[in-house]
Structure 1
Amino acid sequence: MFASAVNLIALVYLCSLHPTFGQDCPNRQEILGTLKQVQKLLSAHEASCLQSLRNLRKKINLLQSSAGKQIAKPVNSTCPKLDAPINGRKLGKSHSVGHEVHFLCDHGYEIVGSETRVCQESLTWTGQQPTCRDFSECASSPCLNGGTCVDKVNKFSCVCAKGWAGETCQSPVPTFFITRTNTSAGSASAASTLPAATAGVHIRPSRCTTVQGTTHCTCEQGYTISGRDSYSCTDIDECEVFHNGHAGKLCLHKCINTAGGYRCSCPAGYNVTNGRSCKDIDECATMQNNCTKDQMCVNTYGGFQCVQVDCPKIPHATYVKTSPTRCERSPCPLDNRACSQTPNYFSYHYLAVVSNLSAPRVMFRIKALRQLGDTLRFTLLGGGQVRRHFTVQRSDRQTGQLMLVSPVQGPVSLEAEVEMSELEKRVQLGRYLTKITMFVSQYEF
């Protein structure tokens, strides 16, 4: 259609130049119709070209916007810088994706919030910014026998109640018992001794003198005048008089009253020291145990435990005992991935502690002699009772520590397992498991 219209226009142009063409030239009506058709065709082509230009401009703008975003994003993207908490410090300088930053608190403070934060691909940190809270030294109620605890920086002091003394108000203040009975006399006379009362196991005669008509009676140490009979002295039950709760007894363990005094005894596994204290007997050092040659003797407070370390049996790996408390994995074949994912070694440790040990406190430290990867991670395995009493924190970049977070009532045995992992760009290089068994005595001494 467009070609025929062009031919018609050319014919009209020739007719205008050579009128002799005659009847071959188109008339005026045909020319106007042809021009209208050509105008419509040109308008359609113009609209199509304009639309194509608009689409092309949109694509160019999209390409420019996408290229601008890629240029704005740096090649080595990092998370925002993290600051160390007040009264604490930060471990780790790399803020790249996948790297960890660890936080520690100074002595006397405990961490609140995330101990470890990881830089995510969204360039944001996991967890919340931690703070260091002052740990009250009086939280464990160290003052005994009604004493008042005064919290100080990294220490405490006790204001003792009447009749008690010592750093934790643990010692009674000696008291002398003297009773005087006055009788009226008509006239003054020289000093004389009255007849003594009949003596018994818990009864002694008093010592009485009369001076100027007044009689004074006293008792020897450990006895007191009781009742209306001023001539008889009754034995003082020191165990009952000085009893003020379990920790307030004269004796650390058991008090036995005697005529005119008392004596202390200790449970099996302890010796009496200083007349009132109890010292644990080391059955392992003194050979007072029945452990076999294949077992290891572990001394505990008031006894001992016989333990035997057997290397674990794990599929795809073989472990060999290299010391009484350590099992190391034999070299893995290069093509055995399952073997390489098993722990490199198992280490076993045994702790003896008293009952109701104050917390928080460090129980055990695990240190890497050298670091292969870019990240060293410490994890407490297990749950339930283990996590009620323990947590794992860092003391520096290459050391983790097992913390006791709540007191444990004995007798009981608790096991905690700490995993140390070496990572390189979040790929595991090695695993090391440390198993700590804590033997808690039934006694608090």
Structure 2
Amino acid sequence: MSTGAIRDAVLAGESDLGAMPVPEFYTALTVHADEVGMFEGVSSEFKDPRKSLHVEEVPTPEPGPGEALVAVMASSVNYNTVWSAIFEPLPTFAFLRRYGRRSELARRHDLPYHVLGSDLSGVVLRVGPGVSKWKPGDRVVAHCLSVELEDPEGHDDSMLDPEQRIWGFETNFGGLAELALVKANQLMPMPAHLTWEEAACSGLVNSTAYRQLVSRNGAQMKQGDTVLIWGASGGLGSYATQFALNGGATPVCVVSSPEKAELARRAGAELVIDRAAEGFSFWSDEHTPDVAEWRRFGQCIRDLTGGEDPDIVFEHPGRDTFGASVYVARRGGTIVTCASTTGFQHSFDNRYLWMNLKRVVGTHFANYHEAWQANRLIAKGMIHPTLSRAYPLTSAADAVHDVRRNVHQGKVGVLCLAPEEGLGVRDQELRQRLLPSITRFKETS
């Protein structure tokens, strides 16, 4: 039995996938433990993920208790795959070794290769003992929260569990592959009006943006708020912009080109800053923040808002922008932060934080309930995927390279078992009502 036979069965609409044999091997995007030193002595900006990534056959894992094996039709690239591929801030094999020490079941993840990817859309092939919510043939997407919930800390907010991990980054058997192994409670219904590749691109970033802006665990955005959104046409920012608009807030979208500015406006944002056109650079040199640029940036925001400072700053670039973010937030405002794609060591002037009673809130992905609610909004057509381009799995390293260089808009998808784009839609009526919003980002790629 090959994965090709599974693909054909899915495309033919066969539901009895549980009766099909599971192949012994499948194709996946991996990094190798014996190559973690390949970039030693190379500056971060010159590390090319295409050198470390492999598309190869790997053995198929058996789903254990509470787990599911999924036939992956499509996946997408997140920045954690970039970090995995360039072995920053540390090789992800350290995560796999730590997880492997936890139990006999977890030991399967400690391998000399790491199957990457934290998103998927696909069809359930097998479920392990104890799984009753899902069955073979169910069409699903997956969120990336892998959690044990054996400690009390995680039962109010599962992101606080000491054994919380990100699937496909801190665990093995991720979604950039023909098959994937997940905990069954990572699965959610696939939105019926989307294609495989559209459905696959929202799980991580949409859930992250939901927690960061909307949830009680994040900024708790309310109607009338002014929300500064960095990278508003990128993966995270494109969803944050939609949440702001849907929630009665006013987004101030920061982008890096005229094309990205136009895309933000087409999404409904009226207040847009092209930081490249304005020439904003928040560091005088490698070690010295440029406070005058913070002030100029703040004035630029007030010129757009009629004198208002942001109630919320949606932060994820990190080192390059964090000092400016703290400065421009209003008195009593909130800087909500995750990711730090330009560097983890942040620098800011604490006087502007403490004397103006601002808050910094750290958020990381989303708990199960938040992910489910975020996916529900996708399924209802209230939030739309922001897919700009989809690569075949054989070219997944090029997709990661694009995200690394920030030459993409929105989300970059990867076709795994899906042979071409445009497949998988079940609710054409809803889709037609929501076009062209669903394909807005793709139309500009």
- Over alpha carbons, which structure has the higher Rg? 1
- Could you say which TM-score interval applies, normalised by the shorter chain? under 0.3
Q: Which has the higher strand share?
A: 1
Q: Which has the higher helix share?
A: 2
Output the TM-score relative to the length of structure 1.
0.20
Larger relative contact order, structure 1 or 2 (CA cutoff 8 Å, min sep 6): 2
Output the TM-score relative to the length of structure 2.
0.20
